[in-house]
Structure 1
Amino acid sequence: MSHRARRIFSLLFATAVLVGSAGLHAQVTTATLYGLVSDSTGAVLPGASITATHQGTGVSRDIVTDERGEFALPALPNGPYTLKIEMAGFKTHNRQGLQLGAGQTVRQTFVLEVGQLSENITIAETAPLVETAFSGQVESLGTLEARELPLPRRNVQGLLGLSAGADSGAILRGVRLNGVGAGGTGITVDGTEANSNPEGRALAQYGGQNQIDVISIEAVEEVQVVKGVLPAEYGGVVGGQVNMISRSGTNKFHGSLFENYQGEKLLARDPFLSSTTPKPAVKFHQFGGSLGGPIVRNRAFFFTTYEGYRETAGMRILGTVPTQALRDQILAALPFPETRIALDPLPLPNEPLTADVGRYVAVKNRERRDNHVVAKGDLALRSGGNLSVTYSRMRPFTVTPSVAIDGAN
């Protein structure tokens, strides 16, 4: 490739990157820990060695306090951490269970005691860390809530309804925050826009045909609801922001299997059905599992999950259709093939109304299916950063019965 061709290629590549990133908003998915290290008299300790280790992955970050005894650890993946502080002439300070959430900024003061470096002081965190650098209202729901709470159809929308000031029940596949319409709520997954339509924000995809909203609950690590005064990175929303963080692998292999089943024998009969109409069949299966673990310990990890959705449910359909006498009159007046094509799909009435039309009442099956896959890989970079790649795919399918023909989506 000539020098001129390389310049043209570089220019086109840079233009594509700039154009592609013009519509993106910077969403913070990692945490930042600021700290001050001092002795028991309050004097700051410059030169203290700090090591922050993620308890799940074993990935560690090292830093040294500056001349003011302060340090900053940005871009920390969410999760529990162990903080180790060492300095000659002082006991080693270990702080365990520092739980950091997505987008969280925490400031902490650490006091070292005089003693031998071989002596250890271990403190286990029990209370959640207080957000001190952000004026908004933040509520985080983690994997414990996602796994243990009985959510309807294992849908993440049921989890959002637990947040104060959130309303997800009165809206079709959406969530309102602080009384603002659903269009004022932004939704992201791992910092990427996840709204079905930027002009009409909702959890539904594919025109509402999907049965698993946004991401499988099995793949959720944290759901963060941000309200109040929003920072600049949440541009374009007025009600609030919903940030979902997907699960990652750790140094231990972990997996799960689940099955949710319902059948017509477990359900009551529709009181509006006539005594001669049989009870409609109902078959519901929601199943799947997950697997995650290390590829290279303390360095590379994977996590994947699959969720299947199968539902067959009887629906009572009702419509007004022409009688055979009226059909014969129409065909006599319009003796064309197109006329018969329009009339043939219509059933004959089973409840008479007049000589020309009657009511057709029946029970037909509605079928809904969905296959949802999430795969994620994480790599701890030697420079101290973290590279994550997440892939998700859903394939919903719906057959809705009607009086004339069934419609598939």
Structure 2
Amino acid sequence: MSSRNRVSASLLFAVASAAASAQVVGGNISGVVTDPSGAVIPKAHITIHNDDTGSQRDLVSSSSGSFTAPSLTVGHYTITVDAPGFAAFHRSDNITVGQTLEVNLKLALSGSETVTVNGDLASSVNLSTEQTSGLVNARQVKELPLNGRSYDQLLTLNPGVVNYTNQRSGSTGTSNSSVGSMFSISGRRPQDNLFLLNGIEYTGASLINTTPGGTSGQLLGIDGVHEFNVVTDTYSAAYGKRDGAQISIVSQNGTNQLHGSAYGFERNSFLDARNYFDNARIPEFQRHVYGAAVGGPIKKDKLFLFGNYEGYRQNLGVSLQTLVPDNNARAGFVPNPTTGALVPVTVAPNSAKLLNLWPVANGAEVTQNGIPTGIAKWTGSAPQRIREDFGTTRFDWNIGSKDNFYSTYTIDDSYANTPSGNPYTYVQETLREQVFSAQEQHVFSPRLLNIARFGFSRSSFYFYGYVPAAQQALAPTVRPGVPTYAVVISGSTASNGASAITGAGANVGSNNAIARNLFTFDDHLYYTVGKHTFQGGVWVQRLQSNDNLAQNQYGQASFASLTTFLQGTIKTFTYAPTITPLGWRATYVDGFIEDTGTSRRTSKYALAFVPSPPPAGAKRRAAPRSTPLRTM
């Protein structure tokens, strides 16, 4: 292979390996210690000090001058290098989640001043043999503007990420019990993604859409998040369970400096423009988001605590356009489908009561080929109410020079009361998501490190459809105390199905609940030999899923047409008088071992333009002639 081709291959490999990641909750530092001539320095003492919490890692360079410090907590670090016969060396910068930082430390001879470097620790290219990833750093999380403060919207800063939320099929219902944002990453389904909060799965309650998020549709807690990383495609064996993107979120932690914030955001309809479907009066809208965060030391360099709370309140007038029986149909007259002439129909007593499940038309008649259908439009709004409370707390403990421990607890509790397409039919959703994690890290030697982690995730969901009391008092029910059954006219009887007239009564999926518990334990062991870091681990997860997702608990009446509805002739009536709760149990066990070391080459290549000596007796050219790429 020519020098030019060898250089091209090396650059291609370096670009393909850029921004690699080795851990889901921290970062790595690796590098080589050399003297001014470039020769390696073995047995140099290296100290990696966390300036935020006072913890540190002590290492010794190998015979090849290399060193590796895996699984470092994100934060600001100072690297100090000491070796006999050489001046002290200091270098500092930030370490981010999921990144391997390649540093080459060149020491000056003894007698020189101490060398201090402030800047980016990361190499312009990454030589680790792992996956590519996309970091959303602390500054981006805290400072980029977001509508609703849902930090998962920042996922789209990475290439290949598409916000898929608006393409979600179906309306509000049990199949969409996870109402958070959904993302397609690298062309995969949103359900293939895995969200990790401090290394523990952060999940929604649905068995279909497991994306975390409250009933507001937001993923709250910006002030409780330090940063997060998106790992895609060919990632490390340390990741698993799903084949989509792995989104690793790291919580904010307390430091030696007391820090905090308090905030409030307000939105309302005062300056809103009128929606096309609005009536003369613009529907009301108020959104209040407020909270506070504080972190600091309990004991300097030893114990730290951080806490964050965020509240979300929203009152929204939802603009609706509902298809309802027209005034003639309410009076017992239905148009002939061929001529449009009104035909009298005897309205059954129960059908007369069911007509109270729709508002009286205030819009135009719906026609088909110019012939009235007996259906008209109602245009207006109905109020939506959302309450969501988010909180997180983190405790860090620097036990000693070889051990550190942290634990976190996060909870998101929310409730939403939302009108369906019919202002007289509402759905209530209650959603609570919780994540607890605890991690202990022990350094056996400069070469051997172990991390043990335990976590518990729980997400519970309850879905309830009902008719407001004023209309419920005028409508029939199957049983006393049970909301009116779902009513479908000329349409599908499936959950979230469509009909010629907007569905009425309770939602077919009412009174459904689900709770998912995930117990997770994993242990990772790192062993460094020269330029290689061997990582091995075991991951165990116990799944408990309890649900009563039986449909039609309140019943569903289907009518073939508007005429048969008025006559009280039911096509089908489905009803589940009793249900059988289901309990699903599963245990997952995975193990892995891999070499995550760097891939350094003894040969280095550079682009150089060097003047060639002129022939004897010839005059020097005005400009030098370039030579091809050369091996250094």
**Structure 1 residue 331 displacement after superposition:** 10
**Residue correspondence of structure 1 range 168-317 to structure 2 within 5 A:** 168=163, 171-172=167-168, 173-196=181-204, 200-205=208-213, 209-213=215-219, 215-274=220-279, 277-317=280-320
The answer to whether 1:320 aligns with 2:320 is no
1:102 alignment partner, one of 97, 102, 124:
97
Matches within 5 A, 1:37-186: 37-97=33-93, 99-116=94-111, 119-126=113-120, 128-129=122-123, 130-168=125-163, 171-172=167-168, 173-186=181-194
Q: Deviations over 1:115-146 (max 9, x none)?
A: 149x4110112363343213422121111111
Structure with higher helix content: 1
1:187-232 CA-to-partner distances (Å, cap 9, x unmatched) read: 21111112326864553446xx24332x512222112111231221
Cα contact 2:415–2:428 (8 A) shared by 1: yes
Q: Percent identity?
A: 26
Among 374, 378, 385, the alignment partner of 1:367 is: 385
CA apart distance, 1:320: 0.4
Correspondence for 1:21: none
Q: Deviations over 1:80-123 (max 9, x none)?
A: 210011223221101121x3222333343322211149x41101
Q: Taking structure 1 as reference, are residues 74 and 126 closer, same or farther at Cα in structure 2, changes over 3 Å only?
A: closer
Measured after TM superposition, the shift of residue 27 of structure 1 is: 6.0
TM-score (norm 2): 0.54
Q: CA deviation at 1:334?
A: 3.9
> How many correspondences in the alignment?
373
Q: Which amino acid aligns with 1:375?
A: T
Matched-pair contact (CA < 8 Å) for 2:278–2:379 = no
SS in 2 for 1:265: coil
Structure 2: segments with no counterpart, 5+ residues: 1-21, 169-180, 334-343, 366-371, 430-632
Query: Which amino acid is the alignment partner of residue 36 of structure 1?
Result: V
Indicate conservation of the 8 Å contact 2:396/2:406, yes or no: yes
Deviations 1:147-190 (A, max 9, x none): 21112211123211111111115555211222222223222111
Secondary structure, in 3 states, of the residue corresponding to 1:161?
Answer: helix
Over the residues paired in the alignment, what is the CA RMSD in angstroms? 3.0
Cα pair 2:103 2:122 within 8 Å, conserved: no
2:402 to 376, 384, 387: 384
Q: Following the alignment from structure 2 to structure 1, what is the Cα–Cα distance between the partners of residues 151 and 402? A: 32
- Give the partner amino acid of 1:251: N
- Structure 2 Cα separation of the partners of residues 94 and 286 of structure 1: 43
Aligned residue type for 2:310: E
Specify the SS of the correspondent of 1:403.
Answer: coil
More off after superposition, 159-168 vs 40-49: 40-49
Q: How does 1:327-338 map to 2 (within 5 A)?
A: 333-334=348-349
Conserved in 1, the CA contact under 8 Å of 2:277 and 2:379?
A: no
User: Larger Rg: 1 or 2?
Assistant: 2
What does 1:336-375 align with in structure 2 at a 5 Å threshold?
Answer: 342-351=354-363, 353=365, 359-375=377-393
Separation of aligned partners in 2, 1:237 and 1:219: 26
Between 1:193-202 and 1:72-81, the stretch displaced more is 193-202
SS of corresponding position for 1:153: coil
* CA shift digits 1:252-284 (9 cap, x unpaired): 11111222211111211113334xx42211111
Deviation, structure 1 residue 57: 1.8
The 1-side partners of 2:296 and 2:323 are apart by: 55
Q: Distance in 1 between matches of 2:212 and 2:203?
A: 8
Distance in 2 separating the partners of 1:171 and 1:120: 59
Relative to structure 1, the CA distance from residue 348 to residue 187 in structure 2 (aligned partners, 3 Å threshold; closer, same or farther) is: same
